[in-house]
Structure 1
Amino acid sequence: GEALSAALRNPSHIEDTLRLSSAEPSAEFSGAVKTLLNIYHKAIKPVEQAFKYNELRQHEVTDGEVTSKPMVLFLGPWSVGKSSMINYLLGLHGTPQELYTGAEPTTSEYTVIMHGEKFRTIEGIVMAADSSRSFSPLEKFGQSFLEKLVGIEMPHKLLERLTIVDTPGIIENRKQQERGYPYNEVCQWFIDRADLIFLVFDPTKLDVGGELEMLFRQMKGRESQIRLILNKADSLSTQDLMRVYGALFWSMAPLINVTEPPRVYVSSFWPQAYAPDTSRDLFMKEEISLLEDLNQVIENQMENKIAFIRQHAIRVRIHALLVDRYLQTYYDKLGWFGDPYEVFRDIVNDPDKYYILKSILAKTNVSKFDLPDKEAYQDFFGVNPISSFKQLSYHCSWTGGCLLEKIEKAISYELPALLSRVSKSTDSPGCEEKPKNRWRRQ
């Protein structure tokens, strides 16, 4: 054992960079969470319910989600060191709590690692049944998925601030059916909710195949949350590492057309000392900047929550406007003799002929990138007959005002106001012990 312990690195920089010894969440923070929940219930949820938004995007926001900690998601092919990396971050190597790591495909599970008073394992069925947790919506993926979901609770400073999710390896050329649950949808559920997505690769066997491309496509619009990790970097020469780095970017080129490509971290995320004659200084610097990235997410979590709810509200509003527009068009075209079913089918199958999407774009503040595709509405109205909706103008009451006005007010005023209040309090010069965050755009 002594030779081994001699070859371990000193992990103290993890605690320092993540400031694990410092303060607790403030009263301001819990106040902001309350306000956010209040805006959500008052202005956004009623519109979701009236227009059955959940049937469209299957994204119901639960209270557990609003109050939950930031989530860090680990994705990547088999045996690239995802579980080892988590063990390393949490200092679990050599302890009984260590996540199992091995060469053969082990993690066929989604493992959610959370804070708890003592170490215990929770079955997925139990996690999904607990509505105070943010995982209750996972119930809709069915029993065979819940059997693949496991929660681990343990006391840990880092887990007081965030939740970590380890996912099954992305297996190239393996059919979805073999997994027994809708893999892509489950993946999408986690991607939509993650504050940071670590896509981990092993540079010695970088295989860019179909499932990986699919994954990149699922991450459209989430580019700012993605971090690519070339793990086990000390197992290659610098020259080979550069080659792999290039290949990775090349494979992403068609998938990521954003001004700023995702950041790539090159290092070996585990406790062993770096292999001799490798770029140790570089690896250490990379590791520290990855930890700073993680710290960012913890520090900006309230801002991220508000932005997430606002983004959600924007989508809900667009959905309501669209359903309203479909209804309007339907009533206009129905006339005296039209067969209601035929008339409606024509509108749903060819909304462009009726300028449905265009008319929404003409309304204020709708971006064409936020519009769902028309197929989504064919499915949506297939399940929800048009007769089950009322137009927006009917969703008004003398006492409560109009649903549309409320959600617009939340998007344009209330959420931005809450955001600026939160940003001010985190940047306040009053408390000097918190170092100024040099990564936040001034």
Structure 2
Amino acid sequence: MRGPGLFCCCLAALLLFVGADDVEDVEDVEEVFRRDRSHIEKTLRLTDEKPADDYSVALQKLRKIYHSSIKPMELAYKYNELRQYEITAYHGRTLADSATDGEITSKPMVLFLGPWSVGKSSMINYLLGLDETPHQLYTGAEPTTSEFTVVMHGPKLKTIEGIVMAADSARSFSPLEKFGQNFLEKLIGIEIPHKLLERVTLVDTPGIIENRKQQERGYPFNDVCQWFIDRADLIFVVFDPTKLDVGLELEMLFQQLKGRESQIRIILNKADSMATQELMRVYGALFWSLAPLINVTEPPRVYVSSFWPEEYNQDTHKELFLREEISLLEDLTQVIENRLENKIAFIRQHAIRVRIHALLVDRYLHTYKDKMTFFSDGELVFKDILEDPDKFFIFKSILAKTNVSKFDLPNRDAYKDFFGVNPITSFKLLSQQCSYMAGCVLEKIEKAITHELPDLLSSISKKPSNLNCDVTGCGEAPKNRYKKH
């Protein structure tokens, strides 16, 4: 923390001068040191009345499409059994094991990552205006956040234990049970009656400490981070100008972020603690350190400012820092505005992956049946197919006969383990997955992909953006990651 000692000394001297009877006046003096928050209220539209929209109707339609057209194929071909390989296969966001309604209807999630004591918790306190209130997250110079803290909306201030969050099927956190009881003890939820939290959920994470091994945490830290990364709509990776060292744990974190560059925002926090020339050098050093970890043509956006309620230090670029802050708030606002479009597009991506998986299982099963004879050993026949699927044109036939990109195909080695747990004989051919009442699962999921979900996406009314272009120029407006530009 910067300047508290000097402030306390000045406050004590002021108390001696004005006397004990003037304590209220001293409190008024303290307010002078607090930064004006009007730009936060305006950019995030916290003072606006909640607009009437058709989101609830659209979400009901989305839920119906998922349960009637996508989930039956998920269950029939045990898609969740393959899900553990999706991170390496797709480098992208995935649904939880057989998505729940809570997963579909959940608010956008903003994830805060980074080394210890870089200001992640302070940034959340600042965005929500929680400083000096009973609701504020604990902050300090030493590592203070040892839990994954989910800050969400509720009618009153309430703390929820991780084991309760995981047991509540109405929420989207039940899959976290798989990380064990040690982790659930490090998971906490905080409900706060705040307007911003009506539209977004914020997640604070334990700071990265490079000299700490994963096993010392008592739970699989990187796996838990990956779970939240897969579900985050916006990822703030926060740095302190004095903590730019890149170690093994930070390298591992950026490995997990590969493929998610469009959601990443780099925050160089506490920027007003440095002189202009020194800040320029730190900015260059940050890019130098991160360049080997972010190997993309379009690097993530970097915001340089000080995200806490105290006034900027004197003789620093206050206007620049304020413009950067407003730009970040516009970024967050646009993610909130695009929440339904992104969710529909994501469900469609998920449906495509489920269909590809079902087509591959069907192809494996066709090949197995073609190669089997009365005298064949079924186990040896299928082992031969698994060992060299290219010899039997398993994957190439999918590319040739269907409108599937080779870049969307899963890792073929994943199917060795998949069929090791799920025998090929336990599945039916796609042509047999039909009924008089429900129809054919393949036709239904293809209809959802080609017609129902695109129609739902186009039916959402487009609302004009209220970004404050007079301040930032809107030169780098955040993009909808599911749209082609």
Task: Name the TM-score, length of structure 2 as normaliser.
Answer: 0.85
Structure 2: state its 5+ residue gaps. 1-10, 12-25, 85-95, 480-484
Within 5 A, what are the aligned runs for 1:103-182?
103-182=141-220
Q: CA deviation digits over 1:336-395, x for unaligned, max 9?
A: 444322332333233333332332233433233322212322222222222221121211
Query: How many Å separate the matches in 1 of 2:400 and 2:146?
Result: 47
Structure 1 residues 125 and 330, CA gap change in structure 2 (3 angstroms): same
1:62 aligns with 2:100: yes
Say whether residues 1:391 and 2:417 are aligned partners. Answer: no
**Any idea what SS the aligned residue of 2:49 has?**
coil
Shift of 1:202: 1.1
User: How much has 1:27 moved relative to structure 2?
Assistant: 4.4
Match for residue 85 of structure 1? 123
Contact kept in structure 1, 2:69 and 2:448, CA below 8 Å: yes
CA contact (8 A) 2:331 2:478 kept: no
Task: Identify which of 263, 273, 290 aligns with 1:235.
Answer: 273
The answer as to 2:365 corresponding to 1:339 is no
Distance 1:349 1:176 in 2: 34
* Aligned position for 2:72: 46
Q: Shift of the alpha carbon at 1:250? A: 3.6
Query: Bigger radius of gyration, 1 or 2?
Result: 2
| Offset at residue 191 of structure 1 (A) | 0.9
The separation in 2 between residues aligned to 1:271 and 1:83, in whole angstroms, is 12
In 1, Cα distance between the equivalents of 2:293 and 2:428? 40
Question: Which deviates more from structure 2 when the two are superposed, residues 371-380 or residues 309-318?
Answer: 371-380
Distance 1:295 1:257, change over 3 A: same
**Change over 3 Å in CA distance of 1:304–1:214 after alignment to 2:** same
1:220 and 1:390 map into 2 onto residues whose CA distance is 36
Q: Deviations over 1:167-201 (max 9, x none)?
A: 11123253322222222221111111111111111
**Secondary structure, counterpart of 2:140 in structure 1:** coil
CA RMSD of aligned residues (A): 2.2
Q: After superposition, give the CA deviation of every residue in 1:92-145 in whole Å (9 maximum; x if it has no partner).
A: 111111101122222121100111111010001111111111112212222111
Aligned to 2:59: 33
- Given the superposition, is the C-alpha separation of residues 249 and 355 from structure 1 closer, same or farther in structure 2, using an over 3 Å criterion? farther
Partner of residue 418 from structure 2, selected from 360, 369, 380: 380
Pairing 1:277-296 to 2, within 5 Å after superposition = 277-296=315-334
Decide whether the 8 Å contact of 2:43 with 2:468 is kept in 1.
no
Query: What's 2:45 paired with?
Result: 19
Paired residue secondary structure (2:54): helix
Q: Structure 1 residues 251 and 312, CA, compared in 2 at 3 Å: closer, same or farther?
A: farther
Question: Does structure 2 retain, via aligned residues, the 8 Å contact 1:204–1:236?
Answer: no
Alignment of 1:357-372 (within 5 A): 357-372=395-410
SS in structure 1 at match of 2:197: coil
Matches within 5 A, 1:311-350: 311-350=349-388
CA spacing shift, 1:435–1:290, aligned 2, 3 Å: closer
Residue 223 (str. 1) matches residue 249 (str. 2): no
- The letter of the residue matching 2:309 is P
Q: Which consecutive unaligned segments of at least 5 residues does structure 1 have?
A: none
> Matches of 2:349 and 2:289 in 1, distance apart?
29
Deviation at 1:37, TM superposition (A): 0.4
What is the rounded CA distance, in whole Å, between the counterparts of 1:278 and 1:346 in structure 2? 68
Alpha-carbon deviation of 1:23? 2.9
* Compared CA separation, residues 293 and 27, structure 1 to 2 (3 A): closer
| Residues 1:203 and 1:436: Cα distance change in structure 2 (over 3 Å) | closer
Q: Classify 1:43/1:254 alpha carbon distance in 2 versus 1 (closer, same or farther; 3 Å).
A: farther
> What's the CA shift string for 1:280-316, capped at 9, x where partnerless?
1111100000000111111111111111111111111
CA pair 317-121 structure 1, distance change in 2 beyond 3 A:
same
- The correspondence for 1:9, drawn from 35, 42, 47, is 35
Aligned partners of 2:217, 2:370: CA distance in 1, in Å? 47
Shift of the 221–411 alpha-carbon distance from structure 1 to 2, 3 Å rule, reads farther
| Normalised TM-score (structure 1) | 0.92
Greater displacement, 306-315 / 86-95: 306-315
CA distance in 1, matches of 2:390, 2:213: 35
Q: How many Å separate the matches in 2 of 1:342 and 1:419?
A: 47
Q: Hey, what's the Cα distance between the residues in 1 that align with 2:173 and 2:100?
A: 9
Letter in 2 for 1:245: Y
Residue 13 of structure 1 aligns with an amino acid whose one-letter code is H
Indicate whether 1:253 and 2:294 are aligned.
no
Query: 1:204 touches 1:235 (CA, 8 Å); kept in 2?
Result: no
Q: Quick check: 382-391 or 294-303, which moved more? A: 382-391
1:22-58, CA deviations, whole angstroms, 9 ceiling, x for partnerless residues?
1325341111011100111111111111111111115
Relative to structure 1, the CA distance from residue 236 to residue 358 in structure 2 (aligned partners, 3 Å threshold; closer, same or farther) is: farther
Are positions 1:356 and 2:394 aligned together? yes
Alpha-carbon spacing, 1:321–1:251, altered in 2? closer, same or farther (3 Å) = farther
Q: Secondary structure at the match of 2:103?
A: helix
